[in-house]
Amino acid sequence: MSEARLHRDGTISVVIAATLWGSTGVSAQYLLETTHSSPVTVTMLRMGLAGSLLLVSGALRERGKLLAVFTSLRDVLSLLFFTVVGATAVQLTFLFTVAASDAATATVLQFTSPAIVMVASCLLTRRMPGWRMILAVCLAIAGAFLLVTHGSFTALRISRTALIWGLISALAAAFYVTWPVSLIRRYGAIPVVGWSLFTGGVLLFILSPDVRVIHPWGLPAILSAGYLIVVGTAVTFCLYLSGARKIGSVRASAVCCIEPLVSAVLSVLLLHIVFGPADWAGTLMVLLAVAMMTGSD
């Protein structure tokens, strides 16, 4: 396969993955609103079943790598820490934000996480960022401000609860993409993410009584849950990995900037969420900020 075709196929895979990821928040919001299930219940189902699918996929491809992580106690503890503070936290806080606001707002707030990663990196390395990075962080903050205030300096467009959960979600997302780097390098992405999702789902089932109360679901809700778990999590993750291997992680991250925009458009079209000029401006500013930070790597 030629390099041009490889790059094209990789880009298409990542675009599809980002589009599907952008739709998962909409699917989750529909589930929360129509089934009256708690964010904990939806997160438990999503993590447990999607993790199972990834583990089965990993077993069929490279069975030896699937259990390799359990040969080191240190790596097992690191994986468990990532499961709780990373995988479970990022999924759960995102759905709490969706429940308190809407899918589009939750996605954009979580997408400010690259700015958090950049600031933390500069503090840890004691290295001042360049003007481009400073401008990107300012854009991300300004974009998030427009989104949560609707352009008003005197009031929040969303509740304080939604804002707090959204910021915690961004922190969790920043941790999610940085902590498991060494684990993924040693054992591969599918074993690490698969075990973390599956274990997180099991922990939620054991520790939370809410997940044992599942209201009757109709066919639309079941189909939406299936889409969220199979397509929006397991299939999307495999598509992203396949594309990133072909075009590189930096370009893949840049392409994923369309995710919040997809979520916003689908929220307006399918859930009839009202997005005003300030909301669109804030969303685009966050997208531009992430693109600038990615391009400067």
Q: Tens of pLDDT along 95-153?
A: 999 999 988 888 888 878 877 877 787 777 777 777 777 787 788 778 877 877 777 76
What tens digit of pLDDT does each residue of 47-98 get?
999 999 999 989 988 777 899 999 999 999 999 999 999 999 999 999 999 9
**147 is a domain residue:** no
Task: Give the pLDDT score at 291.
Answer: 74
Residue of 264, 281, 275 lying closest to 139 (CA atoms)? 281
pTM of the model: 0.85
- Domain membership of residue 58 as a residue range: 3-113+152-271
Task: Give the pLDDT score at 90.
Answer: 92
What tens digit of pLDDT does each residue of 148-193 get?
777 776 666 788 999 999 999 999 988 887 888 889 889 988 899 9
Q: Where are the alpha helices (DSSP H) in the chain?
A: 3-35, 39-61, 63-66, 73-81, 89-100, 103-110, 113-125, 131-149, 160-178, 181-187, 189-207, 219-226, 236-247, 249-255, 258-270, 277-295
Residue 254 has pLDDT above 70, yes or no: no
Q: What confidence category does residue 286 fall into, taking pLDDT thresholds of 50, 70 and 90?
A: confident
Q: State how far the Cα of 75 lies from the Cα of 182, in Å rounded to an integer.
A: 10
**129 is a domain residue:** no
Q: What is the number of structural domains in the chain?
A: 1
Task: Give the pLDDT score at 295.
Answer: 58
**265 is a domain residue:** yes
**90 is a domain residue:** yes
Percent of the chain with pLDDT over 90: 33
